[in-house]
């Protein structure tokens, strides 16, 4: 057995085994105890529903679009704001309280307001995803930008580096691991934001699927939607975790000319 | 005026009554006070003193990174700010302070990307500098892959890359083991002999100060003041075994006595 195969078996073997054990017990329990389908569908029934739900990818795509767009807007604005906060005492004192307020407001409470302003379409969900991801991105990026080595900053100032040079050659690359740690949190939150937005009056998206499946007691479909959401969450989390580790090792290059 | 302000025709660096106070949480901290010192062109000065005596602050004042609260700083007849704008200062820090995401060569290249240096000549210049300290094979290695001594060599040639006339060194060797430290001290003296830099070298190691410097400026802490200045009369071509001479030991003893005084 090759060593690569062995090491991946050692890594993925245990969780896969546990998963199979849980699914097996679940399936057997449902079959043997005769649990009603609306109460707890068997894994096999959920798998069948997964295959048969033809518009699943449409709903998934839409939710991903909302979450992704909100996340992207938040990332651009958040990093820009953090750059301002990290480099200006005035902006730090003036803006940081409001960044904290943005986190303190329960997001659910402003969804109806956004519905009044932006309607029940995709825009509301994008804004919700943007608001909910803003805080972790701004705070992590700010912390990262401030973590730049003070001696290197002295060195840069002693040779008359411009603000732009200091930012792109020193501050931003030092902040990358922090930024990706923030992205990791924000990615799952953006999904929460989009789904919560879809709970309040939407006719499509995974959040809509969850609500309709629940009200119609189509519990198998509910499970399908939950599993898809979980899978997206795990994938984005691992992706940004991987970027974070790479940037910590210094393997990412952002300050090339 | 302290004896440090010796009569020099046109000093490279001239400090007159320099003091720095910081405001920290309502309290006023005097970091340095009444420092007067003239440094000749090409002179090697060691600033010797305990931790917290404002030696690092003094380097930041000389290089215009810190405005003095009182007194004046002149560099080559002009202000420190003017000298900084001419890129006269090269900094070397304790523990190298390299950027971990840049290779050895890219670290040396960092200042060249900032100062006015022709783009096509940069890498060539960096390779040449790395070769001068025996690191040409490690040009593509990242700091994490280099030993402490190698990192400090990279950091030294980084400070030399654009050929500044004044080197400001802040306890550069204090984190290194004895053998590496001695090797780098000799490397530094070699570079200094070849390139005729003016060096301000901060250290709390008495033997290191005596071995390297033309003059050792002994400082006290809280606030940082110049206690005395010791002229090191050892021959300028110094080899490691000069440390075994009586004269060397006498200088070390004098410096230690001055520190305790």
Q: What distance in Å separates the CA atoms of residue A242 and residue B4, rounded to the nearest whole number?
A: 57
B65, A157: Cβ pair inside 8 Å? yes
Q: Which two tokens stand for residue B108?
A: 């040396």
CA distance to partner chain A, nearest, from residue B92 (Å): 9
Q: Per residue in B169-203, pLDDT tens?
A: 999 998 888 999 999 999 999 999 888 899 999 99
A151, B91: Cβ pair inside 8 Å? yes
Mean pLDDT on A165-176: 92
Query: How much is the pLDDT for A255?
Result: 56
Is residue A256 pLDDT above 50, yes or no?
Answer: no
∠ at Cα B113 (B107, B118), nearest 5°? 125
pLDDT-derived band at A6, boundaries 50, 70, 90: confident
Query: How much is the pLDDT for A1?
Result: 59
- On the 0-12 / 13-18 / 19+ scale of CB atoms within 10 A, A8 is exposed
Reported CATH class of domain B1-88+167-173+197-261:
alpha beta
Complex prediction ipTM:
0.88
Q: How far is CA A25 from CA A21, A37, A50, A63, B196, in A?
A: 6, 16, 20, 32, 80
pLDDT-derived band at B51, boundaries 50, 70, 90: confident
> What CATH fold (topology level) applies to the domain A53-248?
MetI-like fold (1.10.3720)
Query: How much is the pLDDT for B63?
Result: 93
Is residue B111 pLDDT above 80, yes or no?
Answer: yes
Q: What distance in Å separates the CA atoms of residue B229 and residue A211, rounded to the nearest whole number?
A: 81
> Model-level pTM?
0.82
For B152, what's the count of Cα atoms within 13 Å in the CB-facing half-sphere? 23
Kindly report the average pLDDT of chain B as a whole number: 89
B86 touches chain A (CB under 8 A): no
Nearest CA in chain B to A160: B85
Q: Is A39 helix (H, G, I), strand (E, B) or coil?
A: coil
- Residues on chain A bordering chain B, Cβ-to-Cβ distance under 8 angstroms: 149, 151-152, 154-161, 165, 169-170, 173-174, 176, 247, 249-253, 255, 257
Query: How much is the pLDDT for A47?
Result: 93
Is residue A250 pLDDT above 50, yes or no?
Answer: yes
Q: Regarding beta strands B13-24 and B27-39, do their DSSP bridges make them parallel or antiparallel, or are they unpaired?
A: antiparallel
pLDDT-derived band at A12, boundaries 50, 70, 90: confident
pLDDT-derived band at B209, boundaries 50, 70, 90: very high
Q: Which two tokens stand for residue A18?
A: 């546990």
Q: Which two tokens stand for residue A117?
A: 């302003």
Q: B195, A48, B15: which is closest to B4 by C-alpha?
A: B15
B211 touches chain A (CB under 8 A): no
DSSP string, A42-65: -HHHHHHHHHH-TTHHHHHHHHHH
Is residue A96 pLDDT above 70, yes or no?
Answer: yes
Of chain A, the percentage scoring pLDDT greater than 70 comes to 96
Helical spans, DSSP H, in chain A: 3-33, 43-52, 56-87, 89-104, 107-118, 122-146, 150-158, 163-166, 172-199, 206-215, 219-248
pLDDT-derived band at B9, boundaries 50, 70, 90: low
Token match 């000749």: residue? B40
Give which of B62, B85, B91 to mutate to test A binding, by max A Cβ within 10 Å: B91
The ranges assigned to domains in chain B are 1-88+167-173+197-261
Q: Per residue in A69-79, pLDDT tens?
A: 999 999 999 99
Mean pLDDT on B41-56: 88
Higher pLDDT, B237 or A131: A131
B115, A159: Cβ pair inside 8 Å? yes
CA distance to partner chain A, nearest, from residue B81 (Å): 9
A250, B115: Cβ pair inside 8 Å? no
Q: Do B96 and B155 meet the contact criterion of CB atoms below 8 Å apart?
A: yes
CA distance to partner chain A, nearest, from residue B33 (Å): 22
B114, A169: Cβ pair inside 8 Å? yes
Handedness of CA A235, A241, A244, A248 (dihedral sign): negative
Is residue B3 pLDDT above 50, yes or no?
Answer: no
Is residue B2 pLDDT above 70, yes or no?
Answer: no
Q: In angstroms, what is the C-alpha Rg of chain B?
A: 18
């Amino acid at each position: 057995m090759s060593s690569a195969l062995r090491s991946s078996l050692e890594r993925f073997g245990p969780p896969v085994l546990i998963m199979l054990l849980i699914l097996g017990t679940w399936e057997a329990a449902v079959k043997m105890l005769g649990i009603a389908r609306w109460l707890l569908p068997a894994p096999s029934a959920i798998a069948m529903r997964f295959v048969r739900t033809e518009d699943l990818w449409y709903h998934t795509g839409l939710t991903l679009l909302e979450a992704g767009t909100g996340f992207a807007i938040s990332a651009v604005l958040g990093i820009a704001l953090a750059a301002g906060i990290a480099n200006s005492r005035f902006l730090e004192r003036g803006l940081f309280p409001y960044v904290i307020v943005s986190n303190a407001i329960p997001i659910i409470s402003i969804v109806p307001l956004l519905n009044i302003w932006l309607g029940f379409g995709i825009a509301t969900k994008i804004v919700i995803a943007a608001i909910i991801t803003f805080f972790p991105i701004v705070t992590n990026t700010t912390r990262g930008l401030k973590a730049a080595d003070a001696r290197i900053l002295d060195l840069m100032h002693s040779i008359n580096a411009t603000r732009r040079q200091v930012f792109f050659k020193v501050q931003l690359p030092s902040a990358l691991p922090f930024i990706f740690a923030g992205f990791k949190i924000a990615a799952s939150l953006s999904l929460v934001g989009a789904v919560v937005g879809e709970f309040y009056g939407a006719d499509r998206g995974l959040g809509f699927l969850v609500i309709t499946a629940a009200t119609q007691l189509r519990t198998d479909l509910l499970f399908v939607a939950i599993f898809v959401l979980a899978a997206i969450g795990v994938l984005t989390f691992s992706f940004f975790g991987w970027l974070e580790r790479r940037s910590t090792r210094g393997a990412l290059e952002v300050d090339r000319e | 005026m302290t004896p440090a302000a010796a009569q020099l025709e046109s000093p490279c660096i001239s400090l007159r009554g320099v003091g720095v106070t910081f405001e920290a949480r309502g309290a006023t901290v005097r970091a340095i006070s009444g420092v007067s010192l003239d440094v000749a062109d090409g002179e090697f000065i060691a600033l010797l003193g305990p931790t917290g005596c404002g030696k690092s602050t003094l380097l930041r004042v000389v290089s215009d990174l810190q405005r003095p609260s009182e007194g004046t700083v002149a560099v080559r007849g002009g202000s420190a700010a003017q000298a900084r704008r001419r890129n006269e200062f090269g900094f070397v820090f304790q523990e190298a302070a390299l950027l971990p995401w840049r290779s050895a060569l890219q670290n040396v290249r960092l200042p060249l990307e900032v100062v006015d240096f022709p783009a096509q000549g940069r890498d060539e210049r960096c390779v040449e500098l790395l070769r001068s300290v025996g690191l040409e094979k490690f040009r593509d290695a990242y700091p994490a892959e280099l030993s402490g001594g190698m990192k400090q060599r990279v950091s030294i040639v980084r400070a030399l890359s654009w050929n500044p006339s004044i080197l400001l060194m802040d306890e550069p060797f204090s984190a290194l083991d004895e053998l590496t430290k001695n090797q780098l001290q000799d490397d530094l003296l070699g570079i200094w002999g070849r390139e005729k830099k003016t060096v301000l070298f901060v250290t709390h190691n008495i033997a290191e100060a005596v071995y390297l410097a033309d003059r050792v400026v002994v400082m006290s802490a809280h606030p940082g003041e110049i206690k005395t200045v010791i002229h090191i009369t050892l021959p300028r071509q110094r080899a490691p075994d000069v440390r075994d001479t009586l004269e060397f030991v006498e200088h070390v003893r004098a410096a230690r006595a001055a520190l305790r005084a």
